[in-house]
A = this chain, B = another copy of it.
Amino acid sequence: MQRRGLLLILSSPSGAGKSTLAKRLMAWDPSLRFSVSATTRAPRPGEVDGREYYFKSRAEFAELVATGQMLEHAEVFGNFYGSPRAPVEAAMREGRDTLFDIDWQGGQQIRNSALGRDVVSVFVLPPSIAELDRRLRGRAQDSDEVIAGRMAKSRDEISHWAEYDYVLVNDDLDRTFEDLLTVLKAERMRRDRQPHLAEFVRGLNGEFEAR
């Protein structure tokens, strides 16, 4: 019997490094599956359907929710976002872990779902709000109004930090990535994620019997 796949949920305010950490983690472990979200927001230049997001109309999205095909969903700035259920369940059956780059609303829904016991949730805090602001402005393509909206969303996001299993303060990206790896490696060693060990121990008992 193979190991049981876990659901690694990574949340943070925009600009705290979450997406960079997620990309590094995917590069580090090709067996990880990244959960591509569905959204009703319009694609930005360069975004590819099925890579950054699955782009859906509001009617299509509502249909996915109504037919139970979304593991979680939430509305942010007037657009819907959600995690398709089927790929997650397929990964778990294969003993593969799934990485979610989602906000606190999504995290809360998955944690409270039937898959809650398979969740490992990690919140990434920025070292300071000044640094968060600097990183958000660094993207340079957005108006002050858009940035102010993001900062309000960031504050809302941060207010949910205490709902997560692990909390990392990202004051050094390399160190924070090492910490994230450490969490994933340790969680994979949990006894309840290694059902194959029951068979191994039966083998040890067989050795005792045969003596």
Contacts and interface: CB of A to CB of B under 8 A. Distances in A.
A194 B182 contact: no
A130 interface: yes
B166 A204 contact: no
A161 B207 contact: no
A167 B186 contact: no
Nearest to A166: B189
A126 interface: yes
Given A125-B201, A158-B204, A204-B126, A187 B189 contact: no
Stoichiometry, as copies per complex, reads 2
Nearest to A163: B191
Nearest to A123: B191
Nearest to A122: B189
A185 interface: yes
A77 interface: no
Given A183-B189, A191-B166, A211-B151, A161 B125 contact: no
Contacts of A186: 166, 182-183, 185-187
A150 B31 CA distance: 41
Interface of A: 123, 125-126, 128-130, 151, 155, 158, 161-162, 164-169, 179, 182-183, 185-187, 189-191, 194, 197-198, 200-201, 204-205, 207-208, 211
11 contacts: A125-B200, A128-B207, A129-B207, A151-B211, A158-B204, A161-B191, A162-B191, A166-B191, A167-B189, A167-B197, A183-B186
* Minimum-distance CB pairs A-B, first 8: A186-B186, A129-B207, A167-B191, A183-B186, A182-B185, A166-B189, A155-B208, A182-B186
